[in-house]
Amino acid sequence: MSELTGFRREKDAFFRENPQSPLLPAQRTGFTGLRYYDEDPSLVVDAVPEPFSEPEVVTMQTSTGDEQQYLRWAIVHFEIEGTPVSLTIYRDPNGGYFIPFTDAGRGVETYGAGRYLEPEVHDDGSLVLDFNYAYNPYCAYNDVWSCPLPPAENHLKVRVPAGEMVFHG
C-alpha cells in the first residue's frame, strides 16, 4: 500500500467515524469514502518559490461571506501536462503554507469553489507540490463551514486530475 493510499484510508475513516467529521450524521450513514483521482506521479511538482519583494497581507472572501487574512508570500512556476502555470502561495496566521486553487475541471470533476494544497517545504527552501493530496475544504461537505475562496490569480485554466474529486453525498 502506498503512503497516499494509507492517507486516504485514514481520511475516509475520520470522515465516517469521527465526531469532528465535516459530514452531517445523515451523510455518514452509508458513507464508503471520498472520491479520488488515481495517484499520478507526474503531478508531484518540485518548485522553487519566488518570494515577493514586499509580501502583503490580503483578505480572502469565504464561502459564508466572512473574510480571512493571509500573507501573499511567493509564486511558483511549473508545468501541468506540458502547460505552463503559476500559483501564488500564501502563509496563514500560524505560519503554514497554503495554496487555494481552482482548475478547469471545477464544478464537474472537482469542487466548484476550489481545492487546497499544502506544499512540503525542504530545508533548502524548495517546495514539493503533490497534487495527489489536493483536498476539498470542509464547506464542500457542509455549509456551516467558512472556507477561503481561491483568489483569481490561482484559477488555473488546465485540469488538475489529482487529489479529491467533487463530493456527491
Q: Is residue 44 part of a domain?
A: yes
- Position 169 confidence tier, pLDDT thresholds 50, 70, 90: low
User: Would the pLDDT of 59 be above 70?
Assistant: yes
Determine contact, residues 91/98, Cβ cutoff 8 Å: yes
Tell me, what's the pLDDT at 80?
A: 94
115 within a domain of the structure (yes/no): yes
Distances, alpha carbon 157 to alpha carbons 79, 119, 154, in Å = 12, 20, 9
pLDDT in tens, 118-151: 999 999 999 999 999 999 999 999 999 999 999 9
Q: Kindly state whether residue 99 falls inside one of the protein's structural domains.
A: yes
Neighbour-count burial of 159, counting CB atoms closer than 10 A to its CB (0-12 exposed, 13-18 middle, 19+ buried): middle
Asked if pLDDT for residue 167 goes beyond 70, the answer is yes
Q: What's the predicted TM-score (pTM) here? A: 0.94
pLDDT in tens, 11-25: 999 999 999 999 999
23 assigned to some structural domain: no
The answer to the question of residue 83 being in a domain is yes
Q: Domain range spanning residue 52?
A: 40-154
pLDDT at 1 over 80: no
For residue 17, is it within any domain? no
Q: Is the pLDDT of residue 30 over 90?
A: no
Which 3 state secondary structure label does DSSP give 144? Answer: coil
The model's confidence at residue 41, banded by pLDDT at 50, 70 and 90, is very high
| pLDDT (0 to 100) of residue 52 | 97
Q: How many CA atoms lie less than 13 Å away from 86 in the CB half-sphere? A: 9
Query: How many domains, in total, are found in the chain?
Result: 1
**pLDDT (0 to 100) of residue 43:** 96
Residue 92, domain member (yes or no): yes
- Are residues 127 and 70 in contact, defined by beta-carbon separation less than 8 angstroms? no
User: Is 144 a member of any domain?
Assistant: yes
